[in-house]
Structure 1
Amino acid sequence: MFERLTAATCRPHCESPSGDAQAEFDERRGLAFELEMEHFRQHRLISRRTLLWMAGGLLSAAVGGTAAYARFAAPQSVQIDHITLPIAGLAPHLAGTRLAQISDIHAGAFYSPEQLAHAIDQVNQLGVELLMLTGDFATVRERDRARRLALREHAFMSLVEPLRRAAMPMVAVTGNHDHWGGLEPMIKLLHAVGVTLLRNAAIPIGHGLWLAGVEDVWGGRPDLPAALRDIPVDATTLLMAHAPDYFDNVLQRNAPVAVQFSGHTHGGQVRLPRFTPGPDGLYTYAPIVPDFGERYPIGLRRVGNRYVYTNRGLGAWPMPYRFNCPPEITVFTLECA
């Protein structure tokens, strides 16, 4: 069913200036984003730590070891979620198409290549036809420029062998952490593995089924019209966009996108109980979510005939804790509405 995917960076309609000047600009911009975030959000990191310890302390009175679970066990307990997507106008021969998604690996922070290898082995057992990688492959905190560049490249390249274990084609988009400091290490990684990187572009993945991808809104230059330009009007279009709140742009443009697949938020990582269900239908909420992930922080949301799905990610950042929010591999099955 699926077209052959090649190891390529698809970006035909939105070229940025190239060369050393652009690379230097991207690196300086990335460093500025990182430093500004560390400075501006320091109170938020402290608040997150405080919330974690408060939650751990209160719950451990009834259930011993909760804090240890949130730190050591929960981040390792990958959950496989199965989602059925009834899509209006889907060609009957595409019904039953199965896709998988992983996101937010954050190698170099609190996630190891061995953990990713295990996750890929799990995906290989799921009978999917394509694996979507929705950004934030690696994260390094280091202010010294030379050391930072070396550590970033090492973190990205540590994922080569784990990703090579995948038995299906893979398609990726950029995340904010991939942009911050320059995209070259990510591009080098994906080229080495044979992953198709979509930067404001689209590819056919089946007869009448297209997959588009945009650069991340926080650090990149997303261009939805460019990404959708080559797609036939009668095709079903799926979109990969790292930040889930980009879905509002899809809605505002009335873009012909059936489903947007995103990551970025990690589901909040720490989710506390609530007495009434939220917009996502869950009886939990995340006290802190990142910018561009506040409207659709977790799971499946439907607006009209369109869906957005926010994957909880595999890694963790900026703290290595998860509570009520396990790491996730998602399997999607397309069906006719």
Structure 2
Amino acid sequence: MVILFVLAGLAALAALAGMQWYAWRRLVRDTTAGPGFARRAGAVVFVAGPLLMFAAVASERAGAPFWLQQVLAWPGFMWMALSIYLVLALLVGELVRPFFLRRRTKPTPTEEPSTDVLSTEGHSTEEPPTEDPAPVRAEPATPSRRLFVSRIVGGTAAAVAVGTVGHGTYGVLRGPRVKRVTVPLAKLPRGAHGFRIAVVSDIHLGPILGRGFTQRVVDTINGTQPDLIAVVGDLVDGSVEDLGPAAAPLAQLRARHGTYFVTGNHEYFSGAEQWVDHVRELGLRPLENARTELPGFDLAGVDDVAGESEGHGPDFAKALGDRDRSRASVLLAHQPVVIHDAVKHGVDLQLSGHTHGGQLWPGNFIADLANPTLAGLERYGDTQLYVTRGAGAWGPPVRVGAPSDITVVELASRQA
């Protein structure tokens, strides 16, 4: 098992190194006339970028001093996103490059001596030529033409990548948009018809997203005037000591039936027990494999599966085992993968996050393979699963093809 893990890691490093080399070759070597300042500067960028990226990830995981995480995060994580779209744009450029590198020319046909034929009337006539049209041939590109084409293709790829990453960054930093979904529940009584749950996940407070971002999220949630707020994991990437001030605006969350919290996998990288205690101090109510009865339905929450290594994994029997199944139930669980346990325990609706909707296209295809539902509402037997794309972003503060959201889930009674 360890050997497989090491081999997988080496394969990933090799693939990453290959991507960086390819991007350097197309953007630096092929666009410079020879050794000089521009080529040396480009080499420095393509060496420093990956090193900063690894340093940013390692400093966060190792709990390095928070100031160091902040210094490394912006350049390191932004290089991560930029590298992806540089390579994708350059690969598209490979499709058009051959059309510009070769010029198709039609040589001028040489004149052949005419052949005179004596007509029946004694006049000389010229027989039309019977040769095939001169073939069109491709002329190899000159070095100056190759340099010109490389600069056009490389410059266009760089502009597309920078524009994509810039737009994706703006989409994250401006804060999530509100999405509204109506979910009918067969067991929901008429009196609970229209009950609104604001679902927020994957805020990912850390060295990039801080107190100002939290305030935007809180203001957006409060603006929906929900009946209940559900924070379904991955609130932070860091310790309470470092991120306590960034999380402080959560104390301003307001809902008639309160705010509830369950852990995500990133809480277990950041000191889950300390964060559970801290959010409780901020006025949120943690549901640690627990359940509470609300007017019209039961609300339950389970710990994230990442907590199993610490003895705090999901315990569905504890959270749901002895409940009255004639009542409707809503489960808060960070990862969608536990949906099958929710079905076994008769849950009517599971609210999850974790996937980010893929966050960076085409990462959505990979995330879709790893999760039963990537985003949105789907049904599994008698249980419905709703997955939000999340409010923030992990790593690069960039989203492409997966806009962030806070979802207001409105419960509907079929008796209404």
Q: Which range, TM-score by smaller chain?
A: 0.7 to 0.9
- Where 2:407 maps in the other structure, the secondary structure is strand
- Is this contact kept in 1: 2:236–2:270, CA < 8 A? no
Match in the other structure for 2:199: 101
| 1:92 to 1:270, Cα distance in 2 relative to 1, 3 A | same
| 1:290 to 1:193, Cα distance in 2 relative to 1, 3 A | farther
Match in the other structure for 1:51: 84
Match in the other structure for 1:295: 372
Match in the other structure for 1:212: 300
* Correspondence for 2:399 among 297, 322, 325: 322
* Whole-Å separation in 2 of the counterparts to 1:53 and 1:309: 33
Measure how far apart 1:55 and its partner are: 4.7
Q: Which 5+ residue runs of structure 1 have no aligned equivalent? A: 1-34, 141-151, 273-284
* Whole-Å separation in 2 of the counterparts to 1:98 and 1:326: 22
| 1:233 to 1:182, Cα distance in 2 relative to 1, 3 A | same
Measure how far apart 1:111 and its partner are: 1.6
The structure showing larger relative contact order (alpha-carbon pairs under 8 Å, at least 6 residues apart) is 1
* Correspondence for 1:224 among 291, 316, 332: 316
- Is this contact kept in 1: 2:175–2:391, CA < 8 A? no
* Whole-Å separation in 2 of the counterparts to 1:85 and 1:322: 27
Which of the two has greater helix per residue? 2
* Correspondence for 1:179 among 254, 268, 272: 268
- Deviations 1:180-226, CA, capped at 9 Å, x for gaps: 253232123212212111111101122x3111011101234111111
| 1:290 to 1:110, Cα distance in 2 relative to 1, 3 A | farther
Q: Which has the larger radius of gyration?
A: 2
Q: CA RMSD in A?
A: 3.0
- Where 2:391 maps in the other structure, the secondary structure is coil
* Whole-Å separation in 2 of the counterparts to 1:44 and 1:308: 38
* Whole-Å separation in 1 of the counterparts to 2:329 and 2:209: 32
Measure how far apart 1:156 and its partner are: 3.9
Q: How many residue pairs were aligned?
A: 275
Q: Identity percentage over the alignment?
A: 29
Match in the other structure for 1:276: none
* Correspondence for 1:161 among 234, 248, 252: 248
2:282 is equivalent to residue 200 of structure 1: no
Letter in 1 for 2:367: V
Counting only pairs closer than 5 Å after superposition, residues 258-297 of structure 1 correspond to structure 2 as 258-272=348-362, 286-289=364-367, 293-297=370-374
Q: Which is worse superposed, 57-66 or 104-113? A: 57-66
Letter in 2 for 1:235: R
Measure how far apart 1:69 and its partner are: 0.9
Letter in 1 for 2:385: V
Q: Which 5+ residue runs of structure 2 have no aligned equivalent? A: 20-79, 94-155
Match in the other structure for 1:129: 227
Counting only pairs closer than 5 Å after superposition, residues 66-77 of structure 1 correspond to structure 2 as 66-77=164-175
Letter in 1 for 2:299: L
* Whole-Å separation in 1 of the counterparts to 2:14 and 2:394: 13
* Whole-Å separation in 2 of the counterparts to 1:76 and 1:99: 23
- Deviations 1:167-187, CA, capped at 9 Å, x for gaps: 221100011111225323212
- Where 2:205 maps in the other structure, the secondary structure is coil
Counting only pairs closer than 5 Å after superposition, residues 240-259 of structure 1 correspond to structure 2 as 240-251=332-343, 253=344, 255-259=345-349
* Whole-Å separation in 2 of the counterparts to 1:269 and 1:127: 27
Measure how far apart 1:56 and its partner are: 6.0
Letter in 2 for 1:258: D
* Whole-Å separation in 2 of the counterparts to 1:42 and 1:132: 36
